[in-house]
Structure 1
Amino acid sequence: MSGPNVWSRSRDKMRLFPELFAQCSGEATAYGRCVAATTRGRQELKKDLCAKEFEALKTCFTNAAKKRAR
């Protein structure tokens, strides 16, 4: 399963992250605000509190990656 190209493919994908992140800044901001709002003080982030925002960010990253691959 792990071949010689596994690490180079992973590095290549990680190099794209800043570009994809820049294309999804609105979604990333909304997710960050949700996380910050739900974890004030010593509160822990609970599962699914920011699911809607996370899904929007995930969809944006996926779409941006698909556009990049063309």
Structure 2
Amino acid sequence: MSGANVWSRTRAKLRLFPELFAECSLEATAYGKCVAATTTSKHELKKDLCVKEFEALKICFTNAKPALK
């Protein structure tokens, strides 16, 4: 596997992020609110506290159909 090819695919996926977030804004907001609510003060985010919201966001990203340019 060529390193240049990996970076090309990675860059292509990263360019889609703004569109993915636009399509999944409700899920992203819910996940962000959960993370913010569970990390108030000096508390660290603990594993699986926002798993439901994360899974919803992940499913939305997977199912989103951003316009390919």
TM-score (norm 1): 0.86
Segments of 4+ moved more than 4 angstroms: none
TM-score (norm 2): 0.87
Partner residue in 2 for 1:57: 57
Where in structure 1 are there 5+ consecutive unaligned residues?
Answer: none
Question: Higher relative contact order at CA 8 Å, sep ≥6: structure 1 or structure 2?
Answer: 2
CA drift at 1:4: 3.5
Matched, 1:18 2:11: no
Greater fraction helix: 1
Distance across 2 between alignment mates of 1:5 and 1:21: 25
Identity value in percent: 78
CA drift at 1:69: 7.8
Between the two proteins, the alignment pairs up a number of residues equal to: 68
Where in structure 2 are there 5+ consecutive unaligned residues?
Answer: none
